[in-house]
């Protein structure tokens, strides 16, 4: 038996889907686990002391990080999908991405086994950029603590976001994956946000009314919402719409009457169903996210990400669009 044949049989044995069939989620070790102490060792004492520290502590598992509940929820969805579609490879496939050298992987493997995570694919780059590997994995979403690498991934057309750890993390569902999205510059392009930044709120409302029948262009996370919707429909087809283990939310500062119709028409034209849509008309998003308790919330503005994190919600920043040049001011009433 060749090595390739052996690996193929091993993949079947442990039910790993082929990357081209799976929904691939690449997660940095720094967001899947709490590695702040190790990061300080690296920053203060350098790479050699960092590597030595990791080897000395390789039997000590890392604590869960901000992406941990999200990954556990993905595994819950996979279990339900396997029950309904035993032969299907349309599953979430999690790839652990780390800049670490290979011999540090022992501690990561020990941690994964300690927490009973099903992660068999690793990408340990020894300090090199992982972006090329992400493309080879057909990655649908990349989560990292490194904002520069997230921007690099977005530039390559890979949905990506920077995650942050809340000081107090609210409890999330163990039976349903909940994913919340901002609208502009996340699901949609930043076209409308550019109008607002350049000409103000009144011009923005006028622009949306005049263009309500013209679809918004896609944003960087549209593709991820599409694959979530595709998996949802597999549950619907088996009569599980009401107890579907995936639930999606649109949480936008757009106003419903004055600028919401264009967003909803765009989603409908794309064939995408959003389970819940909250149009907040400029109100803070944090309290709503505290009620939703998402496993992850995506927003292009750090102002909203910080507000969510302050409420204990798990949030991720999508550094895309015009808002990166014009930080949101607290007195403004139209961040989208």
Catalytic residue annotation: 182
Distances (CA, A) of 317 to 242, 270, 302: 30, 24, 6
Do strands 139-144 and 63-64 pair parallel, antiparallel, or not at all (unpaired)? unpaired
Radius of gyration (C-alpha) of the chain in whole angstroms: 21
Closest C-alpha among 114, 149, 111, 68 to residue 314? 68
- Rounded to whole angstroms, the Cα distance separating 172 from 292 reads 9
Do strands 33-34 and 63-64 pair parallel, antiparallel, or not at all (unpaired)? antiparallel
- Rounded to whole angstroms, the Cα distance separating 247 from 229 reads 9
Closest C-alpha among 178, 318, 185 to residue 248? 178
Distances (CA, A) of 222 to 30, 98, 183, 266: 25, 26, 10, 11
Q: Which stretch of DSSP H or E encloses residue 94?
A: strand 92-98
The full 3-state SS of 128-151, as one line of letters, equals CCCHHHHHHCCEEEEEECCHHHHH
């Amino acid at each position: 038996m060749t090595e390739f044949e052996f690996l193929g049989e091993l993949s079947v044995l442990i039910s790993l889907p082929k990357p081209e069939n799976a929904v691939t989620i690449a997660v940095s070790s720094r967001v899947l686990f709490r590695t702040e102490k190790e990061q300080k060792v690296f920053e203060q004492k350098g790479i050699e002391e960092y590597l030595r520290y990791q080897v000395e502590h390789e039997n000590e598992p890392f604590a869960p990080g901000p992406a941990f509940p999200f990954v556990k929820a993905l595994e819950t969805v996979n279990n339900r999908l396997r029950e309904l579609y035993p032969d299907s490879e349309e599953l979430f496939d999690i790839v652990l991405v780390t800049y670490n050298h290979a011999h540090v992987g022992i501690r990561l493997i020990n941690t994964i086994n300690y927490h009973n995570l099903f992660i068999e694919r690793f990408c340990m780059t020894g300090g090199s950029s992982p972006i090329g590997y992400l493309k080879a994995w057909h990655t649908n979403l990349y989560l990292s603590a490194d904002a520069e690498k997230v921007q690099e991934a977005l530039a390559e057309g890979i949905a990506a976001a920077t995650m942050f750890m809340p000081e107090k993390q609210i409890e999330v569902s163990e039976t349903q994956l909940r994913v919340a999205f901002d609208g502009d510059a996340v699901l949609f392009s930043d076209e409308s946000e550019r109008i607002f930044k350049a000409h103000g709120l009144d011009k923005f409302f006028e622009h949306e009314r005049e263009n309500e029948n013209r679809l918004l262009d896609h944003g960087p996370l549209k593709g991820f919402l599409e694959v979530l919707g595709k998996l949802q429909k597999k549950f619907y087809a088996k009569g599980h719409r009401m107890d579907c283990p995936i639930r999606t939310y649109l949480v936008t500062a757009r106003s419903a009457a004055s600028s919401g119709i264009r967003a909803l028409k765009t989603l409908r034209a794309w064939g995408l169903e959003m389970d819940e849509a909250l149009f907040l008309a400029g109100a803070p998003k944090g309290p709503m996210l505290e009620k939703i308790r998402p496993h992850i919330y995506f927003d292009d503005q750090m102002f909203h990400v910080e507000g969510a994190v302050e409420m204990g919600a798990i949030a991720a920043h999508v550094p895309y669009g015009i808002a990166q040049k014009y930080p949101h001011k607290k007195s403004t009433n139209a961040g989208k």
